[in-house]
Amino acid sequence: MLINAHLAGGPGRLREAIAAGEPFNPEVISEVEKHWGLTVRSGFGQTETTAAIANGPCQPLKSGSMGRPLPGVPVVLVDPMSGSLIDGVGEGEICLGLKGNHGRRPLNLMTGYQGDPSRDAAAMASGYYHTGDVGGTR
């Protein structure tokens, strides 16, 4: 919808632009920057976690990157086949690490799926909240 919108009128009172949900098309980012002079920053979160990863205003942007874990959010990558942590460069399931957070649930993580203990157990397997989404480091 944004790319089909008439952007020539400017951003109005917007000072920042953040994209979330799905990776933003590079052409859309370019058009917003060209017409509005705003940098579109990406991020990652879910209904269950709120924001977990983002490109903050002071961070340099990398094309295609959703940023770094937000403060207080213990994000880890887990190999979906072995269940082991991805250390260094690699790709795996984006998880919130309860283990790396002194066993405490991160503040931005839901308390559970209401009335569905089996879904809770599956989502929290091996001491991590499993998002089901894949990410990587480079």
* pLDDT score of 23 more than 90: no
pLDDT at 88: 85
- Is residue 5, in this structure, part of any structural domain at all? no
Q: What is the CATH number of the domain that holds 60?
A: 2.30.38.10
- 3-state DSSP percent of the chain in helix, strand and coil, to 5: 15, 30, 55
pLDDT digits (tens, 9 = 90+) for 91-108: 999 999 876 667 678 888
The CB-side HSE value for 91 (13 A sphere, CA atoms) comes to 4
In this prediction the pTM is: 0.82
Q: Which amino acid is at 2?
A: L
Cα separation of 50 and 34, whole Å?
30
Query: What percentage of the chain exceeds 70 in pLDDT?
Result: 95
Decide: residue 77, CB within 10 A, 0-12 exposed, 13-18 middle, 19+ buried: buried
Over residues 101-120, the mean pLDDT reads: 87
The answer to whether position 54 is within a domain reads yes
Name the domain count of the chain.
Answer: 1
Domain of residue 48 covers 17-137
The pLDDT tens digits for 30-80 are 888 888 999 888 889 999 999 999 988 778 888 778 889 998 899 999 999
